[in-house]
Structure 1
């Protein structure tokens, strides 16, 4: 068995691979070190993870949520709670899907249950992913993530983690304990 020897070519290739790996980890929110933060909302008693590279732009005046924008300005994340008018989560979630369709989004995936909903779609060069969960007392929590289509692979991991992180505060027994992970975009 021949011994492996380092040559100038293999050293250069190794350096290139290490630099490429470092660049990917520093530029990709899905691959970056665990710099996620947590957004908690006391009004509706829910929380969700916020990916690295997103900065809070504003808190809603009525205290229902916040808007975050990616550092490069190409992506936007809304995390918010809402009261369900008739108390029926699934119907309210379907209404949200219809509103996004009316706003020009082509919805390519949707799954709605009594305890959670997810849908995604596209419009021009952007992708939308929405996740909602039922909360106690006829309320719901959602996140809307809009990002450029050319970052689809990067955001798949981000969405999976966010889906798992969106949850009610401790003590809300009416909300789903564990909703399935993210669907493909």
Structure 2
């Protein structure tokens, strides 16, 4: 009986030892497992940081108008290379000047002129209109006519430069601009050349008053729009 009791006690003790050992193995990871887990976590953080940095760089490039090749976007290129037909007169800003719009009822061209300018007598045939300052220092004239001689942009530009000391000249597919001196005056001329009609803007003022009228001339010239060019 005592012998059986000893064996029973020994069996219980062995069972407890085995159970305790298995429990420790179940809850405690090995050193190699811990290292692998740490490495994976670090790799994940690194990948996330790299991806985030790449996204931020792409977003910054997009907001600055730069494409993936580091070149300026097409929109910016178009904006910086667009041609201008502004007069070379670099006078004061015309932002403080009030303008009124005019549309020719016969030919349909339009422009804006300072509201303070005096409107001249309208021609009987209604082909255009003229304006001037109170002292006639600056004159503006816009008119149209039929293109009966089949004038081209090239031939029109040549005609405009014939009697003028040219300081600026520019042209496009259906327009040309010439600016220069006639005696003591600055003369600016812009013409739209259509198959049927010609539309012309003429501005003149003294050289000595370029600082006063240069900006106004630019504003008027930019507002000048033709009627039909067909």
State the alpha-carbon separation in 2 of the partners of residues 94 and 45 from structure 1.
23
State the alpha-carbon separation in 1 of the partners of residues 115 and 152 from structure 2.
30
Between structures 1 and 2, the one with greater helix share: 2
Cα drift, residue 155 of structure 1 = 2.1
- State whether structure 2 residue 207 is matched by structure 1 residue 143: no
1:60/1:96 CA distance change after superposition, 3 Å = farther
Matches within 5 A, 1:108-119: 108-119=167-178
5+ residue gaps, structure 1 = 1-27, 176-185
Would you say how many aligned residue pairs link Structure 1 and Structure 2? 139
- State whether structure 2 residue 100 is matched by structure 1 residue 32: no
Q: RMSD of the TM alignment (CA)?
A: 2.4
**Contact 2:110 / 2:223 at 8 angstroms: preserved in 1?**
yes
User: What is the TM-score normalised by the length of structure 2?
Assistant: 0.53
Matches within 5 A, 1:84-123: 84-98=147-161, 101=163, 105-123=164-182
1:85/1:98 CA distance change after superposition, 3 Å = farther
Between structures 1 and 2, the one with greater strand share: 1
| Cα-to-partner distance string for 1:49-93 (whole Å, 9 max, x where unaligned) | 112431111112211101211112211111111211243431452
**Contact 2:110 / 2:225 at 8 angstroms: preserved in 1?**
yes
| Cα-to-partner distance string for 1:77-119 (whole Å, 9 max, x where unaligned) | 11111211243431452254155x0xxx322222233311111
Matches within 5 A, 1:38-117: 38-98=101-161, 101=163, 105-117=164-176
5+ residue gaps, structure 2 = 1-91
Matches within 5 A, 1:162-177: 162-169=220-227, 172=228, 174=229
| Cα-to-partner distance string for 1:115-154 (whole Å, 9 max, x where unaligned) | 111111112321101112235x521211100101122122
Q: Which residue of 2 aligns with 1:127?
A: 186
Q: Residue 168 of structure 1 aligns to a residue in which SS? A: coil
